[in-house]
Amino acid sequence: MPIASDFPQSISETFTATREQIVLPGGASYLVRRDDYPNPICIWNYHPEWEIHFIPHASGFAYVGDYIGPFRPGHLMLTGTNLPHNWITPGAPEIPGRDMVLQFDADALIGVRAICPEFDVLHRLKPLAQRGIEVLGPDAFAVGAKLLELHAVGHRGGLGLFLEILQDIEAASQKRLLASEHFLSVYNQVSDRRHRRIDQAIQILQSDPGAQMHEVAEQVGFEPSAFSRAFRRLTGMNFSDYSRSVRVWRARTLLAETETTITDICFEAGFNNLSNFNRYFRMETGLTPRAYRKAARIRAKSVITGLSLKQA
């Protein structure tokens, strides 16, 4: 995660996000949906509405304000008004239904708490939501399960469940704030070309993990030195480290889902030689490529066996 001094100090240097336009269903207090990944709206974005974001099964990197960190299955986060955010799974070609999203106009609901006192929970959460709240441990899975249930119910009869989700986030015993106070004091919401170009660079890396920095910089219209600074400022990682993570992620997918030889996977994932591939793969996963493939096959076999037992 970048320290405060790494983040832009002036409005002219601030990397800004794209505003997402959210339209709530007529007569509804909230919008709940499930999104595939990648998705055209899965970019560095902000919006006035609050968002509760649950990722049941995937892993990757979460970006909230100036916070950057890994997420794992069962990840649950609440982002407040105009707090920029994004969730990236490097190297993933497609993850159906990766994101469960609940969005709502918190300020409007806070305004009716005199009539509906249950919405006072939003007033209490507001100072925390400004920085983003991550719910951890069993509480995250419990709230996530209710979010999945709310998606199944839709808007008819779901208001009580919606309120339960908010109350459970407030009551969660394990949670933490993400964006720094410094970020909130300097962030400006006006869209910026540099920010969009870095997001484009990330998409290029996902489709071509072996791309070199000067090649990506040229494609998005940056001089390499300016691109390197901008990339680190936005992602919190230098280009080489991020590129390596994407390449390892691609290799993990190929090892788990194909019969391609490890040597071929090494080069298809963008590595130049087996020695570097084995070393970096073990750094990222704690396993050799061969051991990872074996573990993935054991898991796949157990899933198939479980499905067969259910169908019997």
* pLDDT at res. 306: 47
172 and 28, same structural domain?
A: yes
- The DSSP code sequence of 217-274 is HHHTT--HHHHHHHHHHHHSS-HHHHHHHHHHHHHHHHHHH----HHHHHHHTT-S-H
Within 10 angstroms of residue 174's Cβ, the number of other Cβ atoms is 11
* pLDDT at res. 32: 93
- Residue 101 β-bridge partners: 33, 53
pTM of the predicted protein model: 0.61
Q: CA 41, CA 21: separation in Å to the nearest integer?
A: 10
Which residues of the chain register pLDDT less than 70? 1-17, 185-195, 234-236, 299-312
The strands making up 67-71's β-sheet, listed across from edge to edge, are 18-19, 45-46, 85-88, 60-64, 67-71
Q: CA 54, CA 57: separation in Å to the nearest integer?
A: 9
278 and 214, same structural domain?
A: no
Spatial CA neighbour of 257 closest among 133, 94, 78, 61:
94
78 and 136, same structural domain?
A: yes
78 and 116, same structural domain?
A: yes
* pLDDT at res. 7: 33
Q: CA 20, CA 46: separation in Å to the nearest integer?
A: 6
Residue 289: give its domain's CATH number. 1.10.10.60
* 169: Cα separation from own chain's centroid: 19
243 and 231, same structural domain?
A: no
59 and 39, same structural domain?
A: yes
Residue 229: give its domain's CATH number. 1.10.10
197 and 176, same structural domain?
A: no
268 and 215, same structural domain?
A: no
123 and 13, same structural domain?
A: yes
Whether residue 213 contacts residue 224, with contact meaning beta carbons closer than 8 Å, is answered with yes
62-109 pLDDT, tens digit per residue, is 999 888 889 999 999 999 988 889 999 988 778 999 999 999 999 999
If one counts the domains in the chain, the total is 3
275 and 137, same structural domain?
A: no
96-112 pLDDT, tens digit per residue, is 999 999 999 999 999 88
Phi, psi of 43 (to 5 degrees): -135, 175
139 and 42, same structural domain?
A: yes
153 and 138, same structural domain?
A: yes
Residue 142: give its domain's CATH number. 2.60.120.10
Q: What is the DSSP letter of 186?
A: H
* pLDDT at res. 8: 32
Can you give the residue range of the structural domain that contains 112? 4-186
* pLDDT at res. 310: 44
- Residue 176 β-bridge partners: 134
